[in-house]
Structure 1
Amino acid sequence: MISNHTIEEIKSRMDIYEVISDFVQLKKSGSSYKALSPFTDEKTPSFMVSPAKNIFKCFSTGKGGDPITFLMEIDGLSYMEALRYLAQKYNIELEEEVQTDDQKQAQNERESLFITLNFAKDHFVENLWEVEEGKNIGLTYFKERGFSEETIKSFELGYALDQWQGLMDAAAKNGYNEEFLEKAGLKIVKEDKAYDRFRGRVTFPIHNVTGKVIAFGARTLKSNEKGPKYINSPETELYTKSKILYGIYQAKNEIRNTSNCYLVEGYTDVISLYQAGIKNVVASSGTSLTEDQIKLIKRYSENVTALFDGDKAGIKASMRGIDMMLAGGLNVKAVRFPEGEDPDSYSRQLGGTAFKEYLDDHSQDFMSFKTDFYTSESNDPIKRAESIREIVQSISLIPDPIKRSVYTQQCSNMLGIDEGTLIVELNKLLIKENKSKYSSKPPSASPSSGGNFPPDFGGGMPYGMPMEPPPDLFADPEDLVEEKVRPDDIIKNQERESIRMLINYGAEMIEGFEGEETHLAQYILTECEDIEFTSPVCQRVLELYKEQLEQGKVLTLQALLDHDDAEIRKEAVDLSTERYELSPNWSDKFQISVAHERDALRLSAYRSVLRLKFRIIQKMIVDNMDKMKSAADENEINGYLSIQQGLKQMEMDIANELGNVTVK
């Protein structure tokens, strides 16, 4: 258990910009930063970071919180794991408290898996450097591959002894639970037998983006091995193969710094390029590239360079990966090596400097790469036409219409094909794609999408054609009848507005009821004294402010973000984050003065509460009218009429105060 003192120090030191910029490319936007969401696929940035409030908010997914929450969301860390990551980042010494038996028993299973995998990694590393078998076989192999000791240690390479239960015995000796060996994919159980998964193989630890070992790859060094040359950990709670890239932990900072990611196939390709001085390199670990892996690359750069072996059959099989990267919004280049060479062998053959020069000289945008590859295969007109369609198909996947237009012109020039012909073919593909996309009933409007259009609607429209009508126009007319907004929902929205004022400005000092200075929080709570909020989470936040004010304190945003109640934490983030911010150019460049609620806090708070009371009275009018309709006699009706008259007068008075023109 990490001590409370250490947790408080971590929270006081952590900086939302510093933490998130390790994972996401942030761009300045007023006093905040914005980016494409790392949690979903989008083309318009909806991910906002507020350094002043030390929080983030993703308007596409609804996720939000402080740096700890971000680490838990982005990499599936537990709360304690996120704290340890931050302590390491800020060089904070961890003060730990002795756990009770109950706390030990309740220890998070994910943490136990991480601990078990880390033990296995250390055990394999020790075998490589300290045990004769490991030194003679594993270390010799790595050095024969040209890997330096520094590189071997950087990637924490190791060796699994050629024993059926070598790791299991070592784990038992050190008090590790066999259950977690199996859950981590380190032990295989078949009927009444149990044995190590990795035996007599060199090991390649697979790290997540924060540097935790989550799985292993392993290569046999036996020439007579009947099984596969490489084996990997099975998928576990920590490891989903399609969501991780080998080398991403070592490469992420260099990818961001160079604004480019080199993509290769295997572990040794990554390690060889890293040793050659090319550290912005990752591998798909021998599997087909996935959408999740593309999103992972996009966190750090929109530019990727795929490195292909010289084998034609292999290149053709990998072309789908280029198309997926284009569809994912990446700018794709490619490099092809001579026949029989791969990134690992060629980098060792040329040496670091010459290999870098080769990459620079032979790097082609995907258009040139595909054109050279397809047109060099055959002079047959039919096959040439098929190749051109393949290239146009790739262009159609690019979500940015301007980039599509540029590549269409380039394709026309390179292949000597009329641009109009290419545009016609491209439009056919785009129309087909849009029909497929909107053949099912579209999603309803939501605040995150900004209307009835999906976030990327219109991004794939044909050239020279009018934009298709909104998808809702294809819906059944009965489905388009606007649902009447319920009074209860209006009241809840207005309650949230009052709570928003509390969270954002509660500690600000304003002129109180008798001219004395008071906190805005005290002013709002006094005005809301006789109101019971209908929203449970808003009522709980209100009570928290009351409790703090009774102690002479004003509740802080950080206190809400640290609260045990997940609903309160989410509400705090949602109500303290603005998706849009007024450009400073309005005042700095154009001298246009725009009023803001913070300029007149008391008035803003007063009107906010007044609107809430207005909505409550409107609800009371509706409820009273319903009672009057079901009244049994004239006296009861007259009573309700009297109440109705009083309520309508109150409604009119508040409307006049608010400046409302019409009262419904």
Structure 2
Amino acid sequence: MRINPETVDRIKQTADIVEVVGDFVSLKKKGANYSACCPFHNEKTPSFNVNPVRQIYKCFGCGAAGDAIKFVMDVDGIGYGEALRYLADKYGIEIEEEEVTNEEAVRQNARESLYIVLNYAKNFYQQHLHEHEEGQAVGLSYFRERGFSNNILKKFELGYSLDKWDSFSKEALEKGYSSEVLEKAGLLIHKEGSNSGGYDRFRGRVIFPIHNVAGKVIAFGARILKTDKNQPKYLNSPETEVYHKSEVLYGIYQAKNAIRQQDHCYLVEGYTDVISLQQAGIENVVASSGTSLTTEQIKLIGRFTPNVTILYDGDVAGIKAALRGLDLVLEEGLNVNVVLFPDGDDPDSYVRKVGAEAFKEYLRKASKDFITFKTETLLQDAGNDPFRLAAVIGDVVNSIIKIPDAIKRQVFFHRTADMLKVDEQMLITEGNKLLRKQQSQKPQERTSRQSGFSPSGPADIPLSNNNINPFDPAPFDGPPVDLFGPPVEEQEALVQHSRLYYQEQAFIKLLVLYGTKELEPGTTVSQYVLGEIQGIDFKDTVFSHLLTMFREHLGRNSVLPTEYFLNHHESEIRNMTIEWLTPKYELSELWSEKFEIYVPFETDVLDKTAFVNILRLKKAFVEEKMKACQQQQIQAKTVEEEIAVMKEYLFYKGISMAAAKELGNVVG
């Protein structure tokens, strides 16, 4: 089925880009727009911009751009139709669909098929928990013993799988779902050497659906309730096209708004830890689902807050193992705290033992920053052994140097020196040694830079590393860092376009953004500038295509508006328009409010901008002609040909000089 055009238009008009993006990242107001760290690539300095007026987003780091629909498609890895359905569900818009051809049905996105069957499975398990006799007697009784309310069961969409070989797959196949899709979704296991349909992966277990950030079910966790040494206590979905365990946090969909509002995230280990804390009113909590914390999971938390507190039970061996992996969190720039529970307790058991208020009070009192916690834990284990104490110093310093912020590093060096009873400068020196050792073990790698150029031309080529602040007071005296980008010769190698290209680009940008504006009553920017460049054609194919479009519409007494290009079917034109509409920097309001310095906007000086663009385009155009004349002169076979070429050259030279004079250039 295909969503009809009227419904698509209604979804586009209703969806608000700030609300949609805000469901996935934490946005901060910045002038008229909003900014955040980009969800599509790793960055610590926000370069992701959301424009609420134009309803578009643009990342200056990786180049990602689009509208609300494109954002949902990219952030969730789904097709156009599924993105529309997600937005329709979010805004309560009823979907009206049309029949599709057999060919279109065959081309249906495989990922969308997985989402559909996983959602069906979730509903199946939910229904059996509440309505089937076995589900009520076994599954629902277990959740009641845990103290889970009906609201919390509904919020996390908990379910139960019957203790039968094929109760789910048999019904799913009867409903028309193919065994191939069921197997790809991790719900069905085929018997080796058998022609039968296979058997259910989950049997006789309570079911914990795992959601992605958008709320779609992507996998399941299942706990067995009977004692069976041949069966694992917990069983999870296998890796699929939509489920990668290292990139998922259990409960992130239910917790994301609370995390963003409270600017803090609690990280636990298990499903029931999350659910119990949510029921106790601690909603900003997620779980790593028993896996070691990964970089992808850390980045997922970082979309919503830089502050994370990790809750551990009292298992000493587990704590020491976890400490080795937490340096990853520091490297990503997050502020990490740790809470340790009494022996024998985990977050789930402790909150049920002491109650919600006492639990929250314990979190406030027992929370320690990670460096302090690690130092105290390792010191306690080392005792008075000098060799082990020396190893502790190296281990702690190795964690401190992972912190990207120089001021925070200095604070922790100072505090840790007091705890370890050593000289602070000695710790800093040790940090320098470790840095040099790391850098000598592997060649220096430059942080990835932008490969494209800003529409305003070569002046906007990025010269500084996005992840390094050259003004940070680094406490190390290690090898010099490449703060200002590639050498000059490399920068020059990046420049691939001629001056004419940039003038054509500036001219088209003027038409796309301001073509409908009137310079004076009855005369639009389009009419004026196009009338002044008769006989000039563009060399760049995209700009030439756009110029032709403007000329054709002007011939019919119409001007193409900006919205036409924002919704253009060609992605190159659409993305180019978004880039032009999204300024990389915004003027501070203090300039006018406090200092009374008034800077005119492009719309205030359109007449001058249009005039200058025309002159610069003509100048660049005739300079290309002059270059062609120079080549013709070299190839001339007779004196007459050489003189004719020279006359043509001088004609163009005169135009170039006149344009230079009008522009105020010192050299023509």
Q: TM-score, normalised by structure 1?
A: 0.93
**Among 461, 465, 484, which residue is 1:454 paired with?**
465
Q: Following the alignment from structure 1 to structure 2, what is the Cα–Cα distance between the partners of residues 550 and 528?
A: 15
Conserved in 1, the CA contact under 8 Å of 2:44 and 2:332?
no
The answer to whether residue 645 in structure 2 is matched with residue 633 in structure 1 is: no
> Can you list the C-alpha shifts for 1:500-542, whole angstroms capped at 9, x where unaligned?
222222222212xxxx422223333333443332222223333
Q: Following the alignment from structure 2 to structure 1, what is the Cα–Cα distance between the partners of residues 304 and 448?
A: 30
**Among 255, 263, 271, which residue is 2:267 paired with?**
263
Q: Following the alignment from structure 1 to structure 2, what is the Cα–Cα distance between the partners of residues 7 and 386?
A: 62
Q: Which residue of 2 aligns with 1:496?
A: 505
After superposition, residues 270-309 of structure 1 pair within 5 angstroms as 270-309=274-313
The answer to whether residue 357 in structure 2 is matched with residue 357 in structure 1 is: no
**Among 397, 419, 427, which residue is 1:422 paired with?**
427
Q: Which residue of 1 aligns with 2:482?
A: 470
**Among 592, 599, 603, which residue is 1:598 paired with?**
603
TM-superposed deviation, 1:484: 9.5
TM-superposed deviation, 1:311: 0.3
Distance 1:327 1:162, change over 3 A: same
> Can you list the C-alpha shifts for 1:132-159, whole angstroms capped at 9, x where unaligned?
2222222222222222222112111111
Q: Following the alignment from structure 1 to structure 2, what is the Cα–Cα distance between the partners of residues 211 and 481?
A: 44
The answer to whether residue 49 in structure 2 is matched with residue 44 in structure 1 is: no
TM-superposed deviation, 1:452: 4.7
Q: Following the alignment from structure 2 to structure 1, what is the Cα–Cα distance between the partners of residues 576 and 485?
A: 34
The answer to whether residue 619 in structure 2 is matched with residue 610 in structure 1 is: no
> Can you list the C-alpha shifts for 1:271-303, whole angstroms capped at 9, x where unaligned?
111111111111111111111111110111110
The answer to whether residue 352 in structure 2 is matched with residue 348 in structure 1 is: yes
Which shows bigger deviation, 496-505 or 542-551?
A: 542-551
The answer to whether residue 27 in structure 2 is matched with residue 16 in structure 1 is: no
Unaligned runs of 5+ in 2: 455-459
After superposition, residues 9-158 of structure 1 pair within 5 angstroms as 9-158=10-159
Q: Following the alignment from structure 1 to structure 2, what is the Cα–Cα distance between the partners of residues 317 and 74?
A: 32
Q: Which residue of 2 aligns with 1:231?
A: 235
The answer to whether residue 354 in structure 2 is matched with residue 374 in structure 1 is: no
Q: Which residue of 1 aligns with 2:222?
A: 218
The answer to whether residue 514 in structure 2 is matched with residue 505 in structure 1 is: yes
Which shows bigger deviation, 111-120 or 449-458?
A: 449-458
Which shows bigger deviation, 220-229 or 125-134?
A: 220-229
Q: Following the alignment from structure 1 to structure 2, what is the Cα–Cα distance between the partners of residues 231 and 525?
A: 67
**Among 301, 314, 326, which residue is 2:330 paired with?**
326
Conserved in 2, the CA contact under 8 Å of 1:211 and 1:249?
yes
Conserved in 2, the CA contact under 8 Å of 1:445 and 1:453?
no
Distance 1:493 1:44, change over 3 A: same
TM-superposed deviation, 1:161: 1.8
AA aligned to 2:480 is: E
Distance 1:473 1:180, change over 3 A: closer
Q: Which residue of 1 aligns with 2:457?
A: none
**Among 338, 343, 346, which residue is 1:339 paired with?**
343
The answer to whether residue 257 in structure 2 is matched with residue 253 in structure 1 is: yes
Q: Following the alignment from structure 1 to structure 2, what is the Cα–Cα distance between the partners of residues 18 and 252?
A: 13
TM-superposed deviation, 1:646: 1.1
AA aligned to 2:207 is: T
Distance 1:126 1:523, change over 3 A: same
Which shows bigger deviation, 529-538 or 576-585?
A: 529-538
TM-superposed deviation, 1:433: 4.2
Unaligned runs of 5+ in 1: none
AA aligned to 2:306 is: E
AA aligned to 1:517 is: G
Q: Following the alignment from structure 2 to structure 1, what is the Cα–Cα distance between the partners of residues 390 and 294?
A: 29
Conserved in 1, the CA contact under 8 Å of 2:260 and 2:304?
yes
AA aligned to 1:20 is: V
AA aligned to 2:502 is: N
Conserved in 1, the CA contact under 8 Å of 2:431 and 2:476?
no
Q: Which residue of 2 aligns with 1:189?
A: 190
> Can you list the C-alpha shifts for 1:72-93, whole angstroms capped at 9, x where unaligned?
1222132222222222333333
**Among 231, 244, 248, which residue is 1:244 paired with?**
248
Which shows bigger deviation, 519-528 or 405-414?
A: 519-528
TM-superposed deviation, 1:163: 2.2
Q: Which residue of 1 aligns with 2:206?
A: 202
Q: Following the alignment from structure 2 to structure 1, what is the Cα–Cα distance between the partners of residues 414 and 478?
A: 21
TM-superposed deviation, 1:13: 2.2
AA aligned to 2:645 is: Y
Conserved in 2, the CA contact under 8 Å of 1:187 and 1:195?
yes
Conserved in 2, the CA contact under 8 Å of 1:36 and 1:46?
yes
Q: Following the alignment from structure 1 to structure 2, what is the Cα–Cα distance between the partners of residues 503 and 431?
A: 51
Aligned partner of residue 592 in structure 1, secondary structure: coil
TM-superposed deviation, 1:549: 4.6
Conserved in 2, the CA contact under 8 Å of 1:501 and 1:605?
yes
CA-based RMSD: 2.5
Distance 1:60 1:444, change over 3 A: closer
Q: Following the alignment from structure 2 to structure 1, what is the Cα–Cα distance between the partners of residues 59 and 442?
A: 24
> Can you list the C-alpha shifts for 1:15-39, whole angstroms capped at 9, x where unaligned?
2222222222222222222222222
> Can you list the C-alpha shifts for 1:543-568, whole angstroms capped at 9, x where unaligned?
44445555655434333232221111
Task: Percent identity, please.
Answer: 48
Which shows bigger deviation, 450-459 or 65-74?
A: 450-459
Q: Which residue of 1 aligns with 2:627?
A: 622
Q: Which residue of 2 aligns with 1:574?
A: 579
AA aligned to 2:258 is: E
Distance 1:276 1:107, change over 3 A: same
TM-superposed deviation, 1:577: 1.1
Q: TM-score, normalised by structure 2?
A: 0.92
Distance 1:235 1:538, change over 3 A: farther
AA aligned to 1:55 is: I
TM-superposed deviation, 1:465: 3.6
TM-superposed deviation, 1:62: 0.4
Distance 1:165 1:546, change over 3 A: farther
